[in-house]
Amino acid sequence: MTDFEGLVAVVTGGASGIGLATANLLASRGATAVALDLNPDVKDPLAGIRADVSDDESVKAAIDEVVERFGRLDVVVNNAGIGAQGDVTANDDAQWSKVLDVNVLGMVRVSRAALPHLRNSPAAAIVNTCSIAAWAGLPQRALYSASKGAVYSLTLAMAADHVREGIRVNAVAPGTADTPWVGRLLDSAPDPAAERAALEARQPHGRLVSADEVAGAIAYLASPLSGSTAGTVLAVDGGMHGL
């Protein structure tokens, strides 16, 4: 029997990058994996449902649809997120509200809608996608870092609240991962190839983290292999956060 046989998993932001790699890995290990995304264009065996994590009604409708179509919900991967650049003066209040709304409140909305269903699962797990930006003190990432700092604290608080009812909550904290998001950032540089080489050289292990490596950590935290792990934020960053 594979790790997720018979279980249903939702992955927000599951149509791209880390979310897509995670949904594919969970499906390959036996789960019915559902991508909840603004653009839920995914291939078999994944299912896609449109959801905007910044809209409570959209989230509730998507979770209801998952349970209606697939009969249960066992694993939630809160992964949808957006970026922001610059120091604390770079973004106005509306931009701060938007990023915190998607990156933090988005996880709250999905968890709120999912928890009643997770309580019926013998293998319930929530995994949040944090970032080493939560605590590494990265330059020109004030808003993004603050949002992921909130995800870090939210993960620990949710773990304490729900572990006694059999729902484990953990997070992964990727370093710079090779996803369409980072690809878009590199493509906006005057010389994308040189920018990529410089970015790789800044990583302790000399390359970007792969989406599959982050997916592997998420799958571990979502699986019975980590059955005694709760409130852990697992860095997947080649050791960057410790430098």
Residues lying near ligand NAD in the complex (CB under 6 A) are found at 12-13, 15-19, 37-39, 51-54, 79-82, 102, 129, 131, 174, 176-177, 179-182
Q: Which is nearer to ligand NAD, 16 or 91 (CB)?
A: 16
Q: What angle do CA 130, 14, 22 make, to 5 degrees?
A: 70
Q: How far is the CB of 113 from ligand NAD (least distance, A)?
A: 13
Q: How far is the CB of 14 from ligand NAD (least distance, A)?
A: 7
Q: Which is nearer to ligand NAD, 148 or 168 (CB)?
A: 148
Q: Which is nearer to ligand NAD, 81 or 238 (CB)?
A: 81
Q: If you ran DSSP here, which 8-state letter would residue 7 be given?
A: -
Q: Which is nearer to ligand NAD, 53 or 124 (CB)?
A: 53
Given the residues 144, 170, 182, 240, select the one marked as catalytic: 144
d(Cα 41, Cα 75) in Å, to the nearest integer? 21
Q: How far is the CB of 92 from ligand NAD (least distance, A)?
A: 19
152 is catalytic: no
Q: How far is the CB of 131 from ligand NAD (least distance, A)?
A: 4
Contacts of 48 (CB under 8 A, 6+ apart): 14, 15, 34, 35, 37, 40, 41, 42
Q: Which is nearer to ligand NAD, 124 or 151 (CB)?
A: 151
Residues in the chain: 243
For the purposes of burial, counting CB atoms within 10 Å of the CB of 73, is it exposed (0-12), middle (13-18) or buried (19 or more)? buried
Please give the structure tokens belonging to residue 9. 């998993």
**Angle of helix 180-187 versus helix 192-202 axis, rounded to 10:** 120
**DSSP structure string for 56-108:** HHHHHHHHHHHHHHHS---EEEE-------BSTTSS-HHHHHHHHIIIIIHHH
Q: What angle do CA 60, 112, 25 make, to 5 degrees?
A: 80
Q: How far is the CB of 6 from ligand NAD (least distance, A)?
A: 26
Q: 171, 163 in Cβ contact below 8 A?
A: no
Give me the active site residues, please: 144
